[in-house]
Every structure is written in C-alpha cells, then in structure tokens.
Amino acid sequence: MSKVYTITSGKGGVGKTTATANLGVCLGQMGKKTLVIDADLAMGGIATVMGLAETYVTLHEVLGGKVNAEKAIYSAHGIDVMPSGPSIGGFLSADPNKLEDVVEGLVKGYDYILIDAPPGLNKYSLAPLRAADEILLLVTPDPTAVEAAAKLRTVAEVMEAKVGGAIVNRVKRTSLLNRLFGGKSARNVNVEEKLKVQVLGAIDEDPAVGEAVRLRKPVVVHKPKSPASRALRGLAAKLTL
Ligand SMILES: Nc1ncnc2c1ncn2[C@@H]1O[C@H](COP(=O)(O)OP(=O)(O)OP(=O)(O)O)[C@@H](O)[C@H]1O
Ligand SMILES: [Mg+2]
C-alpha cells in the first residue's frame, strides 16, 4: 500500500528539505519505490540536495497544466524526484491547488511519496497538507520553531489532516543522558506536550549535513556513517512500520 507524507514546519530553515530528500533516499535504499516531490514552488531546493543537473520540465509546468506529471520526474540516488523550477514565470503560472490531484495520479506507482513543503501559513504551504495521508512536523529544539509548528498543527486539525508525528532536527546530543535516552530526552517530551503528537525521532546537529549540500549530495550518501545519517536511516525505518 502506498503512503504519502508531507514534511512541514511553521518556521523556515529548520531542515525540511534536508530531511525530505534524505529520508527519501533511505527509503530507496530499503528497497521501497519512492518519489520525492518539491512542493516549495517559490524557493525549492530538492534538486540541489539531490544533485540533479538542470531540469527544464518541473512541477511548475505540471501545476501550470502544461505537461503530464511523468514528464517532470527524474531519477537520482535510487529514487524518483519531481523538482520545482527556478524561474519566477514558472512559479507564477503554477497552481498549488492542483497538487492534490497530481499526487493522486502518481500514488499507485510508489510505495512512498514524500512531499517537501514550504514554511509558513499560506496557500502554498497548506496545499501539500491536503495532498498527504500523514503530515510530519519538523522542528528544531528552538522554542520559536516549536511554537510555529504548534500553529500549523492547529490548522491541520481544522483541515482534518492527520498529523503522524514530529521530528526534532539539529539536536546536540552532548550529555550522556541524551545519548542514553535518544528519542525520549526531556526535550522531546516537551515537544510532544506542545505539539500533542509523538516524536518519531531526533536528527543530530552534524557538520556533515552542510558539507553534503555544498557537494550537492544527500548526506546519507556523502557520509553514511555520520550521526545525522544514522538518525535519518532510523527515522526512515520507522516510517515503514
Ligand atoms: N541536522 C543538521 N545539522 C546541521 N545543519 C543542518 C541540519 N539540518 C539542516 N541543516 C542546515 O540548515 C539549513 C536549512 O536546511 P533546509 O534547507 O533543509 O531547511 P528548510 O526547512 O527546508 O528551509 P526552508 O524553510 O527555507 O525551506 C541548511 O544550510 C542545512 O544544511
Ligand atoms: Mg526547504
């Protein structure tokens, strides 16, 4: 059975694109047929993280009604990727409300579809919530990120969208206590209280993530043994349960 997850946050820059691309690659490495869709129509970065060369036909053209979805799918690191385009014209002609239908048309061909959402609370960030079976709220330990995600959680409730869990990114596992209790540190319990949802896992603050982006590679490919890569693999495994 196929499953569609949208990775979202209230606050920007918390690591959605990094997590979406890398979780997708991990699912591919586990033998799952996976598609990652870049629904950040204005500022999409999935193509960069996945190391795709220039892509001329993208989700912009699909949502603009110019091409069929299949034409905007590329393969990289063992999975399929539908990037967003770099052009302002393409962005302006893309209708985010068509995303749900596009995903519905593709879902049969995949075990997993992961959608990278833009931050904020507007028609562009809400359309990916409607297209998902489950929403994953990505936060950092920063209280402003958690509070912004809490707002989005409330909106998801109103939209009757299912929130499947939270992911805490950029966690500094310095104390032995944190290392011992991993996903259930005091900090995670606090996130669970605020977001009223289970924390599926934590991803370490890891310099390998930035290095990988600079090389236009997913970190799980660039440094598979780094702390962030190990955490991302564990999270991907959890998504398949
Ligand atoms: N676990 C991590 N360790 C270190 N750096 C990280 C980690 N996760 C993300 N980053 C860095 O944080 C920055 C933002 O990441 P990313 O682009 O994935 O966030 P985003 O939530 O998609 O942003 P936006 O809201 O703008 O779409 C990038 O420079 C990335 O390399
Ligand atoms: Mg992003």
Phi, psi of 31 (to 5 degrees): 85, 10
Average pLDDT for residues 129-147, to the nearest whole number?
95
Using the predicted structure, report yes or no on whether residue 74 has a pLDDT greater than 90.
yes
How many Å is the Cα radius of gyration of the chain?
A: 17
For residue 18, report the distance from its CA to the centre of ligand 1, in Å.
6
Residues forming a β-bridge with 6 = 115, 135
For residue 90, report the distance from its CA to the centre of ligand 2, in Å.
18
Fold of 3-239: Rossmann fold (3.40.50)
Tell me if 226 CB under 6 Å of ligand 1. no
pLDDT, averaged across the chain:
93
How many Cβ atoms sit within 10 Å of the Cβ of residue 52? 18
Only one residue has tokens 């977001």, namely 195
The count of residues in the chain is 241
Cα–Cα distance, 99 to 94 (Å, whole number): 10
What pLDDT shows up at residue 124? 96
Task: Read off the pLDDT of residues 6-64 as tens digits, 9 standing for 90 and up.
Answer: 999 989 999 999 999 999 999 999 999 999 999 999 999 999 999 998 878 999 999 99
How many Cβ atoms sit within 10 Å of the Cβ of residue 162? 12
What pLDDT shows up at residue 56? 84
What pLDDT shows up at residue 178? 58
Task: Read off the pLDDT of residues 158-181 as tens digits, 9 standing for 90 and up.
Answer: 999 999 999 999 998 765 555 555
**H-helix or E-strand spanning residue 213:** helix 207-214
Tell me if 210 CB under 6 Å of ligand 1. yes
Q: Which two tokens stand for residue 173?
A: 């596992």
Written as one string, the DSSP assignment of 151-184 is: HHHHHHHHTT--EEEEEEEEE---SHHHHHHGGG
Atom of ligand 1 nearest to the CA of 116: 22
Tell me if 90 CB under 6 Å of ligand 1. no
Using the predicted structure, report yes or no on whether residue 184 has a pLDDT greater than 80.
no
Determine the distance from the C-alpha atom of residue 133 to the mean position of all C-alpha atoms in its chain, rounded to a whole number: 14
Q: C-alpha angle 142/165/159, rounded to 5°? A: 100
Only one residue has tokens 């996945």, namely 50
So where are the chain's domains? 3-239
Whether the CB-CB separation of 16 and 145 falls below 8 Å is answered with no
- Is the CA virtual torsion 97, 126, 234, 228 positive or negative? positive
Cα–Cα distance, 46 to 65 (Å, whole number): 21
Residues less than 5 Å from ion ligand 2, measured at CB: 16-17
Using the predicted structure, report yes or no on whether residue 185 has a pLDDT greater than 70.
no
pTM of the model: 0.95
Three-state DSSP class for 42?
coil
